[in-house]
Structure 1
Amino acid sequence: MKKLILGIFIICNTLLFACSNGEAESNSGDTLVVGAVGDPQTYNPDARPDDNFYPMAQNIYSRLIKLNNNQEIIPDLAKDWEVSEDGTEITFNLHENITWHDGEPFTSSDAKFTLDMIIEQNGAAVDNLNSMEKVEAPDDNTVVITLSQPDASFLGYLAWYATFIVPEHIYDEDNWDSGTSVEPIGTGPFKFVSHETGVNVELEHNSDYFGDTPKVDRLIFSINSDQDTQIQAFYNGEIDILGGAPPIAEVENIVNSDEYKITPTVWPSRQYLAFNVAEEPFNDPNIRQAIAYALDNEDITMRTDGEIGEAATHFLSPSYEWVLDDDYLIPESNQELAKAKLEETGLEPDENGNYLSTSIDMFESGNFSDIATVVKEQLSQVGIELTINSSEYAAWQEKVVDNQNFQITLLGGYQGPDVGAITSRVSTTGDSNFMGYSNQELDELLDTAGAIFEEEERASYYSEVQRILLEDMIIYPISEWVGSDPVHAYIEGDPFSEEAIGKTGFAEYTYVELTE
């Protein structure tokens, strides 16, 4: 099963791409400073999860293929790739004459070594690559991956997290999980210079990079775990790029200022309600439907996400526009219908006008508290009394995930890097389905769709998935996670920008230019 990140952090139409090399030139002397929330725990980006190192790794290392901020798969070490007719073999054609930062030649054997080691050493992406049966390197510039079965999500996971290609001559079994004791050697646009704990990580541009040479000479990640201090450093000009989403309270100030630029981008990470369908009262679909009609997610989003918020409209993420079916939209708010649904179950209002008393469990994250408060207010208008139970994440996980001791819970989390990630949340065996929900028809649709690479055919199955999610209403999507990374107005070519997004990873700064 695929690993998903519960916290709020993070396949395009064709399977064959080409990219250009060596066009950009470094503005020697320019230094770009990007905010970072913490120190790297490991310099091997594949050995274990390390979100602190992830943005840095995207600039030091390369992958066979990578995801951009539009959730599209784009080339990296592989200049193009092909999928066999039966969907079980993927051939990657690599750029030639690539060197590691220490001058050693890169070959396809490094890619084979890396992917084999992720499996053998239980690397961070091991579950995501579980359909990978064999990796071969028939020549220095070709990698062939054989899958145990067709898996349309495989390319997305290969392009996503903890799949950076690392040098075989550095990372043998003894050095694989070596923390920060072995300096990072990659093939990426920047080379590692130094790391001062609690202060910064410094990189320099790689003039021998196989792609476009970075436009800045130095890249510094300035480390500060306090969000308020970090945003103030950004305002003061000590940081050029914030390095993540700003506090919600600061969004309006940034959006309305000529000193900054922000490019809101919808990611497949959503905030939603989930119901415990194995227990009363939410084992009754009429009550789940009543909740849906009682809520107005446009109002919730406007009041809790600020100016760049986006209310959910479909049961699948809009990041995968090709799969959305407008016949199965999230219901519009209808208080009278909500009350009618409650009465269909035989419920009658008590002396306080309440048909039902229930509770929502949540952990402290982002604007969850604000969302729960508005949900409580809206439900009260149709005679549903809601108690909010807020706890630390560990306590929430023990109660909700481990023991399924809840009625409603509020969740967020990355639902990518492929639309098939919804399987983990709603299928009978999904590792993020703790709602007690099981639907054989839905399981079969998800399994079939997951083995189809062609989007039009695949979309027909996900249309039926959306129909079932609407009918059964086991989840109620509230809002989309809108990614944004504020930059100063003098910055051009950030990873969200039009000029860079087709070429860079999530946090890759190859094309950034300081214009003053």
Structure 2
Amino acid sequence: MKKSYRKLLAVMTAAVLAMTGCSGSGSAQSSGSGEQTGSTQAGSTGASEEAEAAADGERTVVTIARDFDSTNLDPVMTANNVDIWVLNMMVEGLVTSSDDGQEIIPAVADSWEVSEDGLTYTFHIRDGIKFSNGEDVTIEDCIYSIDRAKTADGPWIGMLDMIDTMEDGGDNNLVITLTEPSPAFLSTLAMFSSSIMPKDYCEEVGTEGLAENPIGTGPYVLQEWNRGERMVFVKNEYYWEEGSPKVDEIDMVVVADDSTRIMQLQSGQIDVATMIPYSRVDELQNMGGLTVNLFDSTDVRFIVLNCQNEYLSHKSVRQALNLATDKEAINSAVYFGHGQIAQSFLAPAMPHYKEDLPAVSVDVEAAKQLLADAGYPDGFDLTVEVGSGDSTILQTATMLQEQWGEIGVNLNIQQIDIATARQNWQAGEYDVFLSNMTSDMTDTSEVAGLWCISEQANCWRSYWDDADQDQAEELCRLGNSEMDEELRMDYYGQMQEVVADAVPVIPLVYAPFAVVTSDRVTGLAQTPLGIYNVKNMEIAE
């Protein structure tokens, strides 16, 4: 089944790379897009005066600082992490993913059944569940929302093409029939883009209105949005889960400078600081009153090699560069030892990560021999483009320049504006590119497809196109369609072996999400997909 996957760039966390128009002052964690100005009053839907006051008369407020503001909150139209990671505060799908990213768990639907042939899913919608505006969730709302997710002309069009029909099954049941069995179906329904929203409201306000203020069944309601400064979320008085959320109000403030975020945390101006530079983690871990959380993530940092390049078209040359790359040194210097050395383009937090891929150790002499065998005993020149101001990528490139220089490869570092670097990468007009990727779903098929299926993203813009790529694509397609989990693991495992041997990409580091909280706050989680789970957050006594 062909999928559009127009999201391509957006699965990348915005920070490391020139891909997104922002960088993180060496944190390698930034997740935003462009700066905005102006003010939006989102309204107080679902936030009555009674709901705004805690039962004991004391209102609990938690302030979270991040480096960039959101831009578009329409679930089917956004592909920016700064939007995606807060959407679940307001909206939910029929199902959602667990905090560890390993399970699909109930949300709007409290249970579901699957037919023996794997084609028919019957979801029971929670009895009495309401949207944050007080309206009942209906089967019509569910069908409308999922159909919009399937057909809207946005970055996620094609993700739900496996759906054939949807109908009201009676007794608050939604029946969805697929064209063919799909192991990724539930994971796709758990994505933010498949969130259930009220049909009447969506049709009334349109895409522009949803971009400003989506209404769903999430634990919070967007009450106020001062663009570029602050988003204020208040408790959804109609939330279906008893006892949640625990905090009355969450203020999401924009503090672009890393050092300022940390100082505000230390002074008590904020309670949570996200996107903490790895260079500050050890210092903050030794500081009283603060807790440093290094959440497992699907964030993989890597080197993309343009396989259409005169030199990089040779598999042995790519293997030589892999042998010359000292990942341990890069992890130590750039990530201050807080990353995990990567062997696969899939992160360990993904369900089909192959744990026993052979580790590649630095071997300069073997790398030189591979270059000589390829006809380049004296080496050659390559260029890596680095977005101006991106200190993390620049530091990594500088280390690669030294490491690859030991085998005779002269890596020229060219600092250019981010937009140009992005355009060159998309067009294949580059030699070497430093990038990263996070997944948007708990299923492997999204990331695997980007790396191994040529039509989806030209193998993540490496333009890898040879017999190895054909083999990887075949294995990927088998894994994407196989319903037997053991066989699926085998297909994806073989796929990772092929990619690791062919080296269209050199995985460097699996990077955690670094979030620091005041000890007055407990219960905050960030899933491997990057999504903030705040409904269990509370003020410590």
Q: Give the match for residue 402 of structure 2.
A: 377
Unmatched tracts of structure 1, length 5 or more = 11-24, 350-354
Cα contact 2:331–2:337 (8 A) shared by 1:
no
Deviations 1:48-69 (A, max 9, x none): 4454443443222222122344
Q: Give the match for residue 514 of structure 1.
A: 539
Partner Cα separation in structure 1 for residue 432 and residue 260 of structure 2:
35
Q: Is the alpha carbon distance of 1:251 and 1:323 closer, same or farther for their aligned partners in structure 2, counting shifts above 3 Å? A: closer
Cα contact 1:495–1:505 (8 A) shared by 2:
no
Q: Root-mean-square deviation (CA), in Å?
A: 2.7
1:322-471 mapped onto 2 (5 Å cutoff): 322-326=352-356, 328-349=357-378, 355-363=379-387, 365=390, 367-402=392-427, 404-417=428-441, 418-420=443-445, 421-431=447-457, 433=459, 434-438=461-465, 439-471=469-501
Q: Give the match for residue 138 of structure 1.
A: 169
Matched, 1:480 2:513: no
Q: Is the alpha carbon distance of 1:237 and 1:183 closer, same or farther for their aligned partners in structure 2, counting shifts above 3 Å? A: same
- Secondary structure (helix, strand or coil) at the match of 1:33 reads strand
1:215-226 mapped onto 2 (5 Å cutoff): 215-226=246-257
Q: How high is the TM-score relative to the length of structure 2? A: 0.82
Name the structure with the higher helix share.
2
Deviations 1:37-93 (A, max 9, x none): 455444543344454443443222222122344223332112233444444333322
Q: Is the alpha carbon distance of 1:254 and 1:119 closer, same or farther for their aligned partners in structure 2, counting shifts above 3 Å? A: same
Q: Is the alpha carbon distance of 1:90 and 1:231 closer, same or farther for their aligned partners in structure 2, counting shifts above 3 Å? A: farther
Deviations 1:209-247 (A, max 9, x none): 2113211222222234444433332232111112x3212
Deviations 1:246-301 (A, max 9, x none): 12332222222232212212322211112222231111111111111111212211
1:347: how far off?
2.6
Partner Cα separation in structure 2 for residue 505 and residue 342 of structure 1:
40
Deviations 1:317-345 (A, max 9, x none): 2112554151x324211112111111212
1:291-310 mapped onto 2 (5 Å cutoff): 291-310=321-340
1:157-176 mapped onto 2 (5 Å cutoff): 157-172=188-203, 174-176=204-206
Cα contact 2:384–2:412 (8 A) shared by 1:
yes
Partner Cα separation in structure 1 for residue 201 and residue 231 of structure 2:
21
**Alignment partner for residue 492 of structure 1, among 522, 525, 536?**
522
1:59-74 mapped onto 2 (5 Å cutoff): 59-72=89-102, 73-74=104-105
Q: Is the alpha carbon distance of 1:8 and 1:182 closer, same or farther for their aligned partners in structure 2, counting shifts above 3 Å? A: closer
Cα contact 2:275–2:515 (8 A) shared by 1:
yes
Q: How high is the TM-score relative to the length of structure 1? A: 0.86
Q: Give the match for residue 125 of structure 2.
A: 94
Matched, 1:187 2:192: no
1:76-87 mapped onto 2 (5 Å cutoff): 76-87=107-118
Partner Cα separation in structure 2 for residue 471 and residue 297 of structure 1:
17
Task: Say which is worse superposed, 464-473 or 52-61, in terms of deviation.
Answer: 52-61
Instruction: Indicate the percent of aligned positions where both proteins have the same amino acid.
Output: 22
Cα contact 2:277–2:514 (8 A) shared by 1:
no
- Secondary structure (helix, strand or coil) at the match of 1:456 reads helix
Corresponding pairs, count = 488
Cα contact 1:63–1:165 (8 A) shared by 2:
yes
Q: Is the alpha carbon distance of 1:203 and 1:456 closer, same or farther for their aligned partners in structure 2, counting shifts above 3 Å? A: same
1:416: how far off?
4.8
Partner Cα separation in structure 2 for residue 47 and residue 410 of structure 1:
27
Q: Is the alpha carbon distance of 1:231 and 1:454 closer, same or farther for their aligned partners in structure 2, counting shifts above 3 Å? A: farther
Unmatched tracts of structure 2, length 5 or more = 15-30, 32-53
- Secondary structure (helix, strand or coil) at the match of 1:308 reads coil
Q: Give the match for residue 302 of structure 2.
A: 272
Cα contact 2:131–2:197 (8 A) shared by 1:
no
Partner Cα separation in structure 2 for residue 203 and residue 362 of structure 1:
37
Q: Give the match for residue 20 of structure 2.
A: none
1:451: how far off?
0.7
- Secondary structure (helix, strand or coil) at the match of 1:359 reads strand
Partner Cα separation in structure 2 for residue 196 and residue 443 of structure 1:
46
Q: Give the match for residue 281 of structure 1.
A: 311
Partner Cα separation in structure 2 for residue 197 and residue 386 of structure 1:
41
1:181: how far off?
8.7
1:166: how far off?
0.9
Task: Say which is worse superposed, 77-86 or 284-293, in terms of deviation.
Answer: 77-86
- Secondary structure (helix, strand or coil) at the match of 2:402 reads helix
Q: Is the alpha carbon distance of 1:395 and 1:233 closer, same or farther for their aligned partners in structure 2, counting shifts above 3 Å? A: same
Q: Give the match for residue 269 of structure 2.
A: 238
- Secondary structure (helix, strand or coil) at the match of 2:193 reads coil
Cα contact 1:252–1:307 (8 A) shared by 2:
no
1:30-45 mapped onto 2 (5 Å cutoff): 30-45=60-75
Q: Give the match for residue 348 of structure 2.
A: 318
Task: Say which is worse superposed, 61-70 or 177-186, in terms of deviation.
Answer: 177-186
Counterpart AA for 2:413: I
